[in-house]
Amino acid sequence: MTASFPRAEVVIDLSAIRHNVALLASRAPGAQTMAVVKADGYGHGALEVGRAAVEGGATWLGTCSLGEALALRRAGIGVRLFSWLDTPEADFAPAVAEDIDVAVSSLAELARVADGVRRARDFSGLNAIGRVHLKIDTGLSRNGCPPAEWPALVEAAAAAKPFIEVVAIWSHLACADDLGHPSIDAQAKRFDEAYDIARAAGLDPMRHIANSAAVLTRPELHFDLVRPGIAIYGLNPVPTDDDLRPAMTFKSSVVLTKRIPVGESVSYGHTWTAERDTTLALVPVGYADGVPRTLSGRMDVWLDGKRRPVVGRVCMDQLIVDCGDDEPAVGSEVTLFGQGDSGEPTAREWADKLGTIDYEIVTSMYRPRIHRTYLEAGS
């Protein structure tokens, strides 16, 4: 409890990130670990999470865009960085110059990376080289090279030496969190075929395909490098009993309490009416801070050691908690979701109520009004 508590705050426990990365790395002992920190570290802060992940044993960090990777490099991250999806006008020259590995799914993309290498050599020296990971589409049908075009892509990449070094071939799984789904084996088979073709073209690439679910459940798919994302944040996409610790807690505080008589209604639309005299606590977070309005009347918060219901509609900037005959002090801490150890709601609970996944809940906590703080920031 504190009077200076920010109105909307996410607290990121970096010791949980270190713990989770170490646990995941221990599940894949023959592989290196790439911690996926795209989308600002799934809403947790890419740089802080990236540093903690490296302390936990990650030797690579993965991002979606070149901008995300360059920001990490320029902030002093020294481990290998891999970036996998940009728009066609992306300039690969800075990525090459700053030692960022990039994904290639097509001949056109390969040509753009080679062009980036030529320009990078003008300003960073003749040794600049484009380190590429060729992506085979094994069945997700998102990005990645279709199998029919794969032989031409590997031949072209092999011939592009010394501008291009093929570091790896890689792919992404569609249903790894659906244990035993037949697509997993089908994708693995296509991945093997793609590898054989790459070898026949004279390449000797690493292989990587495993996301969090596959790290935890499919050891035969770990290959040389694993790419866990959600599990490093402590959210387990599969029903295993691994000791992952959620890293994010979403908090606010009580700014006002008031007693209302039976029959009084609460918030816009008067969707809730007190059935007895009760005390309400006002909490200054709302849908502008990432509390979905569709959780109105369907969510609890943790306040003074108890779960208590949010009553009436969640507004843009505030919500109201029914405290019965309890009188929380102004300034009392309110947990909207957290690790769940004490009984407080979790991001998974929100996701289940909303019909979505906890990935979306934590990622949407990256908002200008939400203050982010870090616990145990390390040395």
Ligand X SMILES: Cc1ncc(COP(=O)(O)O)c(C=O)c1O
Question: Catalytic residue positions?
Answer: 38, 268
Q: Binding segment for ligand X among 70-78, 198-206, 223-231, 291-299 (CB under 6 A)?
A: 223-231
Q: Which of 19, 73, 227, 372 binds ligand X (CB under 6 A)?
A: 227
Residues 66-105 that bind ligand X (CB under 6 A): 84
Touching ligand X, residues 313-372 (CB under 6 A): none
Q: How far is CA 286 from the centre of its chain?
A: 23
Is 214 or 303 the residue whose CB approaches ligand X more closely?
214
- Decide if residue 21 touches ligand X (CB under 6 A): no
Using the rule CB under 6 A, is 229 a contact of ligand X? Answer: yes
Q: Which is nearer to ligand X, 237 or 284 (CB)?
A: 237
Residues 279-318 that bind ligand X (CB under 6 A): none
234 phi/psi in degrees, rounded to 5:
90, 10
Work out how close the CB of 172 gets to ligand X at its nearest, in angstroms, rounded to a whole number: 4
Q: Which residue ranges are tagged as binding site for substrate?
A: 142, 316
In sequence order, the 6+-apart residues with CB closer than 8 A to the CB of 342 are 302, 305
Nearest-angstrom CA–CA distance, 180 and 318: 44
For 22, 49, 98, 243, the CA distances from 101, given in Å and listed in that order, are: 23, 20, 9, 31
- Tokens coding 91: 């300039």
- Which tokens in the block code for residue 302? 């943790």
Mask for 173-212, x = binds ligand X (CB under 6 A): --------------------------------------xx
Residue 228 engages ligand X in binding (rule: CB under 6 A): yes
**Which listed range, 107-115, 158-166, 183-191, 225-233, lies at the site for ligand X (CB under 6 A)?**
225-233
Q: Which is nearer to ligand X, 139 or 228 (CB)?
A: 228
* Among 161-169, 224-232, 269-277, 285-293, the segment contacting ligand X (CB under 6 A): 224-232
State how far the Cα of 129 lies from the Cα of 126, in Å rounded to an integer.
Answer: 8
Interface residue with ligand X, options 230, 247, 295, 347 (CB under 6 A): 230
Phi, psi of 59 (to 5 degrees): -110, -5
- What's the distance, CA 19 to chain centroid? 16
Q: Which residues in 99-119 are b (16+ Cβ under 10 Å) and which e? A: ebbbbbbbeebbebbbbbbeb
| Binding region | 142, 316
First vs last C-alpha separation in the chain: 27
Whose Cβ is closer to ligand X: residue 5's or residue 366's?
A: 366
Q: Which of 275, 238, 75 is nearest to 61 (CA)?
A: 75
Residue with the CB atom nearest ligand X in the bound state: 229
Choosing from 44, 172, 251, 308, the residue that interacts with ligand X (CB under 6 A) is 172
Q: Which segments of the chain does DSSP mark as H helices, in order?
A: 14-27, 38-42, 46-56, 66-74, 93-97, 107-124, 150-159, 182-200, 212-217, 347-354, 358-363
- Minimum distance of ligand X from residue 117's CB (angstroms): 23
Query: Helix (H) and strand (E) counts for the chain?
Result: 11, 19
Element (H, E) at 169: strand 164-170
Name which of 208 and 308 has its Cβ closer to ligand X.
208
Q: 136 or 323: whose CB is closer to ligand X? A: 136
Helix axes 46-56, 14-27, angle to 10 degrees: 50
Choices 65-73, 229-237, 297-305, 330-338; region in contact with ligand X by CB under 6 A: 229-237
Size of the site for ligand X (CB under 6 A): 11
Positions touching ligand X (CB under 6 A) are 36, 84, 172, 211-212, 227-231, 237
